[in-house]
Amino acid sequence: MLILGLDPSLSCTGWGIIRAEGSRISHVANGQVKTDPKAPIAARLDHLHSAVAAVIAAHAPDRAAAEEVFANKNAQSTLKLAQARGAVLAACGQANLLVNEHAARLVKKAVVGTGGADKTQVQAMLRVLLPGARVEGADAADALAVAIADANLG
């Protein structure tokens, strides 16, 4: 089974695809979709949607997973995150992909063993779980962690 993990953000959305066969997982692909901060919001959202739709078309995952939405102290940041999530999840819906949502603490616990893990601990564990994978950046690493958590929590 191919699982697409997503870490939506208006500035840089991470994506990662793993293959899960029973309790075994392997890296398939990962990347980041960056948007131009000077572009209009509608153009940025369209870019996110199109890029995620292209990833789905290229890899044909069986399902997707994303972190549950959380509220920032800054309302504008929360709104931008929600808009980016909407564009990314719409691309999944367009492809008839089921999207599982997991709390960030649950993702960290599934990958590292503790819900309070920081980004460096998650990235270190990814190197153990997906040996040889070249991860495109922090957002792609987060997306791979979401996919791994989904495989474990399924």
DSSP label at residue 11: S
How many helices (H) and strands (E) the chain has is answered by 5, 5
Dist CA 30 CA 18 (whole Å): 9
The answer to which of 30-34, 49-53, 128-132 has the lowest mean pLDDT is 128-132
- Residue 51 belongs to a domain with what CATH number? 3.30.420.10
Confidence of residue 71 (pLDDT cuts 50, 70, 90): low
Tell me if 46 is assigned to a ligand binding site: no
Please give the residue that has the higher pLDDT: either 76 or 46: 46
Confidence of residue 69 (pLDDT cuts 50, 70, 90): confident
Question: Cα(first)–Cα(last) distance of the chain, in Å?
Answer: 11
Q: Is pLDDT above 80 for 154?
A: no
- Residue 136 annotated as catalytic: no
Residue of 21, 36, 67, 136 marked active site: 67
Residue of 21, 62, 136, 139 marked active site: 139
Tell me if 7 is assigned to a ligand binding site: yes
- Residue 101 annotated as catalytic: no
For residue 62 the two structure tokens come to 């069986």
- Domain of 130, in residue numbers: 2-153
Q: Is pLDDT above 70 for 126?
A: yes
Average pLDDT over residues 50-67: 97
What's the chain's average pLDDT? Answer: 94
Q: Is pLDDT above 70 for 118?
A: yes
Number of domains in the chain: 1
Tell me if 136 is assigned to a ligand binding site: no
Dist CA 133 CA 27 (whole Å): 6
